[in-house]
Structure 1
Amino acid sequence: MSSPSFIPRVLTVAGSDPSGGAGIQADLKAFSALGGYGASVITALTAQNTQGVRGVHPVPAAFIAQQLEAVLDDIRLDAVKIGMVASLEVAEVIAEALRARRPRWIVLDPVMVAKSGDVLVDDAGIRAVRDVLVPLADVITPNLPEAAVLLDAPTPTTTAEMASLVKPLTALGAPYALLKGGHLKGEQCSDLLATPARYEWLSALRVATHNLHGTGCSLSSAIAATLARLPAASTDADAVAAIGKAKRWLHAALEASERLNVGQGCGPVHHFHAWW
């Protein structure tokens, strides 16, 4: 096991959410809550809150490259989480930088579909995620609509249909795929984890809350933070345990979200539920 004094260094490459519940802000909170030091590279500025997105201002690819270079020149990273990437140019900039100085773990949250069901990126953006970033990643964390977009397939409506997507997902190139089943109905919220060695269902009782803002960002960042703590000689079972720990942390953050009372729409999860 890693030394108690070890503090992993984790980078998020994603957009900014001024309301603090999603994007870069949620990522940094998740890293900190799980004992990591967080750094960030901002890919877009957004005007949003708990009620919706009002505007998006993309950061030029050249400046994203400059941010990445500045961080990688100075900090030895243990893990990177990548969030929404809307263009091929930005995907290639990220991939080039991380191939040159690759951390042990890269977690990709392929944010492509809004909670409303609207696809957020064009065909070029979808290809950029699927062809450039998925093969770069160690872990991908799509929800059901995102997995359907990646595979150009119908969105699953049952656990059996959900399970049928896992093999094609891993064939895209990432050795670990956590397919999130939150869009399905029922008391249980079940995610399906595919690893190089096995498939495993990770299930929990569904939390009755509207505070779902930033859940995908927070879970993928929690996974990056827990994987970053693993020793170099870690096993497949260690990785599965780390991902399971991240899911349990998010479940507790959802259960505690009502304590925050933030915003008039879909509020954020309580990242620091174990602390305050």
Structure 2
Amino acid sequence: MRNEIIRLSLPALAIMITLSGCTAIKNTGDALFGPGRSEAQLTPRTSTFRDLLNLPTPKGKILAAVYSFRDQTGQYKPAPNSSFSTAVTQGGASMLMDVLNESGWFIPLEREGLQNLLTERKIIRAALAKPDAPENNLVLPSLVAANILLEGGIVAYDTNIKTGGAGARYFGIGVDDQYRVDQVTVNLRAIDIRSGQILHSVLTSKTVYSKAISADVYRFVSFRRLLELEAGTTTNEPAQLAMLSAMEAAVIHLIGEGIINNSWALANPEDINNPVLQYYLNESTYIM
């Protein structure tokens, strides 16, 4: 009788352990059936974006040109992904332009698609040159020149800088937990247009965290009756969000260095004590 009770309770116990393992990261429904469909939404941002928005006001906005912000890592995704699929985004310049615009310190100028812009201006000039063009048509103004040129790129993507995990198994019932940490590094430089001198250069890094948890059961519950259950879920921090966060931190550090070295100024000098600004200025002196 006692053996019969144990056989009946094992499946229930196995299911409870399996499902509880899955809920450690996401809810059970997501782990077993997937998260389902979701509507398009604005890209989620991290705490560095909040810091970017909470920066003090500048004395005057800086006209900045960004021609490119390339992937300089040469990294490709590991197998079984395509050998032609890069590990990091190729849209770094577009992401940096968004960060500069959101900071409130820069007026980013279109340079990545400069040829397209010039083509459109030629079309407008051709229309204005026609004899029957309306007299009230305004002359096309010249393009605005930048005060500084921002250069740099994604300079490193290191994988498996830290890995680990834990697991347990008892009578064919097991739970396993694993994690992996990658790291992305970006460089951002501010260059004086007139002299070509590099005014400021910063390197920022952001970890990319991945975690997997699984639970399984492999047990004979009676003669020729095998119970086998398996469930699990994996959470991968999006690499592009990590790079976006690194760019946001780089822009904040660049602003802070420029204030300290009088490359640009605050609208209110007392704002140098701003908590966000002080945090990043103090972080600049951090040594491992």
The TM-score with structure 2 as length reference comes to 0.28
Q: Which has the higher contact order (CA 8 A, sep 6+)?
A: 2
Structure richer in strand, relative to its length: 2
The TM-score with structure 1 as length reference comes to 0.29
Instruction: Give the structure with higher Rg (CA).
Output: 2
